[in-house]
A = this chain, B = another copy of it.
Amino acid sequence: MNEQTIFFKNPVFVMDTATIVGPMETDGPIGKYFDKHVDDDILGQKSHELAESAFHIYTIKFLMNKAKINAEEIDLCVSGDLTDEIYGTNFAMRDLKIPFLGMYNACATFGSALITASTYVDGGYARRVICSTSSHFASAERQYRFPLEYGGQRTPLSQWTVTGCGATLLNNKFGKVRIDCATIGKVVDYGVTDANDMGAAMAPSARDTLVKHFRGTGRRADYYDLVLTGDLGEGGSRILKALMKEEGYPLGDNYSDCGILIYNRMAQKVEQGGSGAGCSSVVFNGFVYKKMMSGELKRVLLVPTGALISKTSTLQGQPIPGIAHAISFTTEG
Partner-B contacts on A (CB < 8 A): 1, 4, 6, 9, 46-47, 49-50, 75-76, 80, 82-87, 90-91, 93-94, 97-106, 109, 112, 115-116, 119-120, 122-127, 143, 184-189, 308-313, 316, 318, 321, 323
The interface residues of chain B lying within 8 Å CB-to-CB of A4 are: 75, 99
Q: CB distance B321 to A90 under 8 Å? A: yes
Q: Of B109, B123, B308, which is within 8 A of A123 by CB?
A: B123
CA of A316 to CA of B47 in the docked complex: distance in angstroms?
Answer: 8
CA of A183 to CA of B46 in the docked complex: distance in angstroms?
Answer: 34
Q: Of B94, B97, B312, which is within 8 A of A84 by CB?
A: B312
- The complex is assembled from copies of this chain, and their number is 2
Q: CB distance B127 to A185 under 8 Å? A: no
CA of A53 to CA of B262 in the docked complex: distance in angstroms?
Answer: 35
CA of A171 to CA of B124 in the docked complex: distance in angstroms?
Answer: 19
The interface residues of chain B lying within 8 Å CB-to-CB of A86 are: 104
Q: CB distance B80 to A104 under 8 Å? A: yes
CA of A76 to CA of B308 in the docked complex: distance in angstroms?
Answer: 18
CB A114 to nearest CB in B, in angstroms, measures 11
Q: CB distance B100 to A1 under 8 Å? A: no
- The 6 A-B pairs of least Cβ separation, nearest first, read A123-B123, A85-B310, A90-B308, A99-B184, A93-B187, A104-B104
The interface residues of chain B lying within 8 Å CB-to-CB of A6 are: 125-126
CA of A309 to CA of B115 in the docked complex: distance in angstroms?
Answer: 27
Q: CB distance B312 to A100 under 8 Å? A: no
In addition to A84-B84, A143-B312, 20 A-B residue pairs with Cβ atoms within 8 Å of each other are A1-B126, A9-B124, A50-B318, A83-B312, A85-B106, A85-B308, A85-B313, A87-B310, A90-B321, A91-B313, A91-B318, A93-B186, A93-B187, A93-B323, A97-B186, A99-B186, A100-B185, A101-B184, A103-B103, A119-B123
CA of A120 to CA of B187 in the docked complex: distance in angstroms?
Answer: 19
Q: CB distance A105 to B102 under 8 Å? A: yes
Q: Of B84, B103, B124, B186, which is within 8 A of A311 by CB?
A: B84
CB A3 to nearest CB in B, in angstroms, measures 10
The interface residues of chain B lying within 8 Å CB-to-CB of A50 are: 316, 318
Q: Looking across the interface, which residue of chain B has its beta carbon closest to that of A46? A: B316
Q: CB distance A313 to B87 under 8 Å? A: yes
CB A125 to nearest CB in B, in angstroms, measures 5
Q: CB distance B321 to A91 under 8 Å? A: yes
Q: Looking across the interface, which residue of chain B has its beta carbon closest to that of A81? A: B104
